[in-house]
Chains A and B, each alone.
Chain A
Amino acid sequence: MKNLNIFILILALIGGLTACDDQLDVTNPNEQTTVDFGDSESELQEVVIAAYNRIRLEGSFARVGYTLDAVRGDEVWNSSQQWYIDYDRLNSPGTNEIGDMWPYRDWYHVVNRTNYILSKVDDVEMSEDSYNQIAGQALFLRALAYYHLSTYYQTVPLITDYESYSDMNTMFASNSTQDEIFDQIEADLSKAMDMLPSRDEGGEWAQGRATSGAAAGYMARALMFRHKFTEAYPILQDIIAGVYGHYELMNNYGDNFKEDTENNAESLFEVQFMDFGTGGTDEEWTPVNISSEATQGHAVESNYASQELGSWGDLAGSPWLYNLFKEETSTDGRLDPRLYWTLVTYEDEYSNYTDQATDAYPNGDPRSNIVYQEEITKTPLSNSAQGGISIAKWTNARNNIYPNITNGLQCGVNLRLMRYSDVLLRAAECENEINGPTQTAIDYINQVRRRVALPDLELSDFPSADHLFEQIANVERPKEFGCENGRGIDLIRWGFFYDQSRLNQLIEHGYYMLAPKNEAGDIIANTDVVTAETASGSSFQSYNPGHEYFPLFQNILNANPNLEGNSANKSVDNAPAFKEKYNIRPVVELE
């Protein structure tokens, strides 16, 4: 018996010493872990900023994420014939990181940060206003991310719950359909429209942030991608009516492309970059580093500007776009000011405009032949070896704030992602789609034309909705938004890749000349109309069906066994599926 007692005593002793599992909890003394983060309003505000930070990466808006859509379109071609070539020609094999991977990777950074906010925000005590601001911005940014993911990569995984990242099954997510993704985008934006303050209500806070107006504008974009014109139109009308704050066109079209007129009354949303020279010193190249001393600039200028004037010389405006501007003039016979702000060409007459009162600029015309603080006497080459017309937008070629381009993530001109003129032209498009060509539609368009002193359109010139559509799609929008991100998405939503006559039209728009020479044998920037006979080629001749979207990089597929390639990976023609759902307007001749 005594033995037994001793035995029990020993067991008790052992048992007493073994309550050790609790002691296995350790805390990391070196770095803060997520365990004790995200439980306060101020910490969530920090994550909101991190989410904004991710929209200015190379794959989102600091470079290729922005320019890829332009080069996919018909207004821009790849004058260096490298780096962007697979996306200009629409036939990437899925092994080119810059377009097949970077935007995918970087936009999912935004998704991750916003999912974090949205998973935490309900459990943190804060005022309703704070809640609406934090959650609203996260919803807007998530929708922005998915909008760009799905318009670049078609069928991507839809991850909306932060918990998904800690579960093997949901982290290795499979593809969602484009419809599922757009359903989510619409759901997020409709909430954000209600939650966020307008730019008027937000005041100083709203400078550079997502507002209800931004959410509403993107809602209209998202709806129109799926031809939901009847739903988009009232939202656009509300924006015009000032429901989401007061918006108006700037008198000077050029104010949309300068540092000192950022976040103006025309701007619904823009990516914020620090003005040239005011950012830090670290260039955050890919793969993305995190530096508190980031330069906070973009490198679109390094791709868009003239190589002759110091850029990398990658992208050029198409001869079609240039000649589109030349087809009609302002009421005083002068050139459309938008040509000046869109492309860098030498135009004799610019020198005669300078400081004159012109119809477009009654208080003094800013146009001149001074580029990067130097007077030019001929159109500079986009690419020194291949020629091409360099692009003025998102560069300081016209702003003349410095004499030499500093290549890299340095340019400080905020990228205006959505302008009031887009609201007006989209309203016109919706009106035309719903009611056919009407004076209301014409009036929306004329507002945009009057700013640059182009003569009003007349309803009588547009016998059918097809005619007014043609005017909007191939005249008004390219001239207003030439070389801005969005043309490629427009071509997809209009079904231009899925109709042979439309495709032929794209091929015509895409004609370019490689290394054209003058009599002296020097390479020149050709501004003449290029035809099938004179062209070296057109980007759209090599279009491989399915490749209006970009393929997923092979490593993306390798890393996730549940993920399938998209139409570009499989070279599957999206035309039948598109035609089943949506109408493609036929090509019509305009007067």
Chain B
Amino acid sequence: MKYIFLILLGMLAFSTATFAERNSDSEQTAMLQADNITVTGKVIDEEGEPLTGATVQQTGTTNGTITDIDGNFSLSVPADATLKISFIGFESTEISVNGTTNMGTITLVSDIRQLDQVVVVGYGTQRKADLTGSVAVVDTEEMKKVSKSNISTMLQGKVAGVRITSDGQPGADPSVRVRGIGTFGNSNPLYVVDGVPMGTTIRDFSPNDIESLQVLKDASAAAIYGSRAANGVIIITTKQGKKEQPLRIDYSGYYGIDQVEDGVYEVMDSKQYGEYVTMAYGNSNMDVPAGYDPNSSKYIDPNVVNTDWQDEAFKTGIRQNHNVNFSGGGANNTYNIALDYYSQEGTIEGAGPNFERYTARANNTMSVKFLEIKTSLVYSHSNQDNMALSNANEYVEGLYGQQFPVMASALITPPTIKAYDQSTWVLDDKLSAASQYRYDSFGYGTYYDDVHGDLRVTNVLLTNGLLERNSVVDRFVASGSAKVDLIDMLGRQSDNHKFNYNLNVSYSKTTAKDFTFVPAFIQSTTNYLSKSNEVLTQGYRSYSAALIENYINYDASFGRHQINTVLGQTFERNTEHTLTGIGNNMPEPYFLQVGNAADTQASTYEREDLLASYIGRVNYNFDGKYLISLTGRRDGSSRLSVDRSEFFKSASAGWRIERENFFPVDESIINMFKVRGSYGELGNDTNLGPYEYATTMQRGDYTYSFANNKVTGSAVSYYVNPTLRWEKKKTIDVGLDLGMFNNKLEFTFDWYKSTSEDLHYDVRVPFSAGVTNEFVKMNAATMENSGLEFLISYRNRQHAVKYEITANASTLQNKVTNLGVSGESRIDGYTRTEVGREVGEFYGYVYEGIYQSQAEIDNYTNSEGQLVNRPDAKPGDVIYADIASEDGTVDENGNPVPDGKITDADRKILGSGLPDVNFGLDARVEWKNFDLSISTFGAAGFKAVDFVDMTLRGSYRTLNKSVDLLNAWTPDNTNTDVPRVAYNADAAITNDMFSERFIQDASYLKIANVTLGYNFPDRWFNGYISNVRVYATGQNLATITKYKGYNVDFAGGTFTPGYNYASYPTPRTVMFGVNLSF
């Protein structure tokens, strides 16, 4: 903590000596109050009407006046003073006097959301009112008041049609889905920061740098980004300094604590667990292990050993963020320099997860005559400690025994194992193999076969404490743009024509250093990492991205006609290089360099991706009433071979009906009534690797012998499809924008339907191809997404209590209409994807209760009255419905006919993992200097399966269980829905086969953020500091849901959207923050 302030202070002193000098100048003048001059001016609104009673104040002082009935004012101030002009209902503005006596006309901009708000739409800007595509303009005002760790999560619940799901792990990249998944590959949207496409992740950027945020949702809006935009585009602009503004220093920071919600899963304590173990072993006719036999000398007294693994594994995490921003500008330049530090210490004991990030950004603009130049330099450094095993299921070479993600382990480890136990440093007397180890279990508790039974579980504190997985990422992005005003260059002037040439260049270099170490340890005969198998991996990854763009903008207006055009070309080159060294078998004590290992290996990899494009767009606008936009982009990608270039086109139109004479409603009631429609096509190639169209050779690996002399040969072993084409997404969108009561009430509606065709899908290679790979990518799937989106906001700032309420909701229907060459359905774990249905629906057996007696087993019949043969079932076991025949027999209506057996064929679709509706509700209230904002979001109409819940409720083995299992079926406890438990499932049909038993209703409403702030009046600080705000924020405070498990807003997989595989719990966070300006 302390160091960070020192570093920031150091940076401040180092980089801005001149600014600091100026700053002290202004302080001196403020105190001297000498050489006053009288300045005059006039304050008007945007319509040109004078504003009466506006406040004109010398900043940092109480010196001020108000405007007269004509909007004029006169005030005596020092020659270098700054004036702040403010008026209720309008945004305040500041201007520097600079010795001028006549300030001229000052226009105040309405505080109420602007019709004329200008939106960045890619290679140009557009008035929001003129938009014809579906563009969500995100209100960043509120965001700026509350810091978030990640840009993506700032969007959570804010935009209709944008669903953000996230793992709670520090540094995790959330999954962002704009209008559902449009591809089976990477479905994250494209991020464009200050005009530079940044790919599909922006974890390395600081959210504090954001000035504005737009989401381009439909094909027409995103078309200018062509093949990059199929999953939507998020356009970010960062903060710039203002011209004619002295140095301004803003600080914002917060400090918060994270806690994992307690009691989400209720697991057994030692006493309960002992009862359970006795019951499970008894039902399998096995002797209970000695540890649970009170008569044994090895008995574990539940009063002595009763480990609460959740208490042991989870801890309080800490997150903090500090940001210093320097901004200002002269007549011809502006600057904005931001330094940011963010850190998050995770909520689990051990080496990880932790995340730390430093960011520095310097934005500059310079203009001379007809030339305007912008530069931006960003450096970021992040350091992430991962957990020993996360839900990404990292493969740990040489690690034996069953392994679970750390979070899951913390819940399923029996309470009768000690968390820490000094005696485990040496286990040689208990495990013969332990004699080969220097340290055995490092003082972490373990289980013993003769006491606890055969558990095969590793102490989670040991794995997470000993295994190190770390990534350090350094990223540098430099970008610059030049805009030439060609008309000005020729010495002409024209109000009706603008003709600019733009050049953008950008270069990004990212280096990542990965470090993994797995030391030798032994916990039991099955859970160990053998002495010679220690693995040390050190790797470097280096990425670069270079971009050059040339384009011209030509804007013209002829009478009531307005036209805006863009024409240009872009070229992008991405490279990657990796270098990995692996060392096995490390001598002790460990010095963690690969060269110290007995066995070493190294590997390298390189790739290059190129994208060349032409872009063009024409917007036409007649009288602000009829709006038309045509966009085209031709993309060529090096990931494709034939048809590598494709032209993507779109058209959209809008009609401002309220501007028509015949529109019956007065403008004071309805000030905007726009209908719009669009159609467009976008491409995608994110599911492809860099050289996937070219077949590779296996050189020298094919052996044979002639007369016992070995020979080697070569051949193509892996088949690739050389004729891959672009994926194409076609979207049709119809929308309505409504503004009422001078935009106090805004309403937006969209209906869309998108068809993603030629999706790159893993098709089963015909066996007659004679190759090794089972699957090959082909343009062989089609998926449709359609939905409705609503956004409504109401804003009232005319009273002492100012408030704004925004609500959004969106529906999503997904349907796979074509899958593979033969339409073969696919099963991924518990889900199935088939033609004509939604992607990844739950697929399993139908639960029909519990057999109460042997007679019921013997006489149980299916719907046809046929006996259902369950020879191995016992009373207390689950009854599954027999609904279909193994051989697929159907009746005359095509309905399946049961066959008296429980087989794979008896599985059916059991529910959807994709929400029918997503929604968000935000409210903001201001009263005097207080403000309060509440944001919530949720989803409804979907099911989820939780891996941890399934494991805790599993009927077999003796890992720790949910307390529900104490109520398991026994001959004496038959009135229960918990089936019989046993040590072993001794039949092929078990109680744990995937059935409705494990499917949960996951609809939820999450109170994501509540912030209460207080804004101190500037006058309290005598002008030394201003804009002082303190706030307290609670994040993730409560979730209203029936779902049992962490993270109901988890990020599922593409084909398993409703399956929560041990997602890291999003903690409940309380933060305290301060913003202030110098």
Contact = CB atoms under 8 A, between A and B. Distances in A.
Contacts of B985: none
Given A26-B610, A33-B697, A171-B769, A112 B568 contact: no
Contact of B768 (A56, A159, A273, A558): A159
Contacts of A109: 770-771
A20 interface: yes
A37 B614 CA distance: 35
B690 interface: yes
Interface stretch (A43-51, A348-356, A491-499): A43-51
B705 interface: yes
Contacts of B822: 558-561
B486 interface: yes
Interface string A283-295: 0000110111010
A28 B691 contact: yes
Contacts of B569: 14, 17-18, 20
A359 B406 CA distance: 77
Interface in B193-245: none
Contacts of B710: 274, 279, 296
A101 B767 contact: yes
Nearest to A112: B770
A384 B721 CA distance: 50
Contacts of A116: 715-716
Contacts of A28: 690-691, 694, 696
B768 A18 contact: no
A43 B697 CA distance: 11
Nearest to A48: B713
Q: Which 6 pairs, one residue from A and one from B, show the smallest C-beta to C-beta distance?
A: A49-B713, A112-B770, A50-B715, A20-B612, A108-B770, A559-B764
A166 interface: yes
Interface of A: 2-3, 6-7, 10, 13-14, 17-18, 20-21, 23-26, 28-35, 37, 43, 45-54, 56, 101, 104-105, 108-113, 116, 156-157, 159, 165-168, 171-173, 204, 207-209, 262-263, 272-275, 278-280, 287-288, 290-292, 294, 296, 553, 555-556, 558-561, 563
- Main SS at interface, chain B: strand
Given A34-B716, A559-B824, 20 more contacts: A14-B551, A17-B571, A21-B645, A23-B571, A23-B612, A26-B609, A30-B605, A30-B607, A33-B697, A34-B694, A35-B694, A49-B711, A53-B704, A53-B715, A101-B767, A272-B704, A291-B701, A296-B710, A558-B822, A559-B767
Contacts of A101: 767
B731 interface: no
Nearest to A6: B486
Contacts of A294: 703
Given A47-B714, A108-B767, A560-B766, A56 B707 contact: no
Given A24-B638, A274-B708, A296-B710, A30 B701 contact: no
B768 A290 contact: no
A35 B722 CA distance: 11
Contacts of A263: 707
B767 A292 contact: no
Contacts of B607: 29-30
A111 B699 contact: no
Contacts of A49: 702-704, 711-714
B713 A50 contact: yes
B723 interface: yes
Interface string B950-986: 0000000000000000000000000000000000000
B827 interface: no
Contact of B703 (A14, A166, A280, A553): A280
B803 interface: no
Interface in B277-335: none
B714 A208 contact: no
A167 B766 CA distance: 12
Contacts of A208: 705-707
Nearest to B612: A20
B708 A275 contact: yes
A273 B709 CA distance: 10
A105 B767 contact: yes
A556 to B, nearest CB: 5
A26 B764 contact: no
5 contacts: A32-B696, A33-B696, A166-B721, A558-B764, A559-B764
Nearest to A113: B715
B612 A33 contact: no
A275 B723 CA distance: 44
Nearest to A271: B704
Contacts of B705: 208, 272-274, 296
Interface in B568-625: 568-569, 571, 605-610, 612, 614
A282 B696 CA distance: 23
Contact of B704 (A24, A43, A56): A56
A92 to B, nearest CB: 15
Residues of B in contact with A, size category: 35 or more
Given A24-B610, A26-B691, A292 B712 contact: yes
A559 B765 contact: yes
Contacts of B501: 10
B770 A24 contact: no
Nearest to B698: A290
Contact of B713 (A6, A46, A110, A560): A46
B176 interface: no
Contact of A560 (B486, B606, B614, B768): B768
Contact of B770 (A20, A37, A113, A167): A113
B637 interface: yes
Contacts of A54: 702
B241 to A, nearest CB: 30
A209 B550 CA distance: 63
Contacts of A291: 701, 703
B695 interface: yes
Contacts of A26: 608-610, 638, 690-691
Nearest to B489: A6
Contacts of B713: 45-53
B228 to A, nearest CB: 15
B700 interface: yes
A514 B956 CA distance: 38
B498 interface: no
Interface in B732-772: 764-772
Contacts of A108: 767-770
Nearest to A108: B770
Given A296-B704, A558-B824, A559-B767, A34 B612 contact: no
A471 to B, nearest CB: 36
A23 B610 contact: yes
A283 to B, nearest CB: 13
B636 interface: yes
A141 B607 CA distance: 38
B568 to A, nearest CB: 6
B567 interface: yes
Given A18-B612, A47-B715, A207 B548 contact: no
B815 interface: no
Contacts of A555: 764, 767
Interface string B891-903: 0000000000000
Given A50-B714, A290-B698, A14 B766 contact: no
B701 A290 contact: yes
A296 B608 CA distance: 39
Contacts of B614: 18
Contacts of B708: 262, 272, 274-275, 278
Interface in B714-730: 714-717, 719, 721-723
A284 to B, nearest CB: 9
Given A28-B696, A157-B768, A563-B766, A2 B704 contact: no
B644 interface: yes
Contact of A156 (B701, B706, B716, B768): B768
B948 interface: no
Nearest to B718: A31
Nearest to B571: A20
